[in-house]
Amino acid sequence: MSRSVIVTGCSRGIGAALVTEFNQRGYDVGGCSRSEESMSQLGTDPRFRGVDVSDDGQVARWSRDLLAVGMNPDLIIANAGVINEPGAFWEVGAAEFDAVIDVNVKGVANTARAFLPGMIEQGRGTFVALSSGWGRSTSAGVAPYCASKYAVEGLIGAISQDLPAGLCAVSLSPGVVDTRMLAVAFGASEASQAIDPDLWAKPAVDFLLSLSSADNGQSLTFSR
């Protein structure tokens, strides 16, 4: 079966690695990031577009424009995310807290709202929202990020119950991967000991492609 794949937050890290791996395997791939320059280097609009996933209107327009060129994805990976600078919660400003919630929670919600109706219409598809170990446990210094990922877990759990038979929505913790967010949380030296995103993506794509309606509602972890 031909697969059409969308990855949000694909200008670097896990998102960029997934786009590269799907492309190398010949899948029809699209993606977005707030970095318009990065998107123009990956491909042509609308398949690759500068989109702020926290803006519902931008995501909705992107979805409509993709459909207009014949791209109705059946695998959506809501990967876009940010993390706060580590610090006690009362030291994190309201603007920084809002940014984490807007991207990590509203971004997933906006992506689901824009793309799930098309998947429902075609009667198949998988929606994957990137979560975290910090969506299932907590640590000092990252309260905003923990709050956002716990929200993603709850949101996806409820969405999965709204879906008709044949579709799938899951939350996925990617394990520990050497990304910019990991470096913010633990420092560049410690982050560099984690697996490289490109090496992570190769088996991760196999895992993502294996997901089916039998997995609907699951809170999953993939760790290489």
The rounded distance, in Å, linking the Cα atoms of 44 and 128 is: 24
Q: 15: which 2 tokens?
A: 């998102």
Instruction: Catalogue the active-site residues.
Output: 145
Name the nearest CA neighbour of 109 among 146, 152, 64: 152
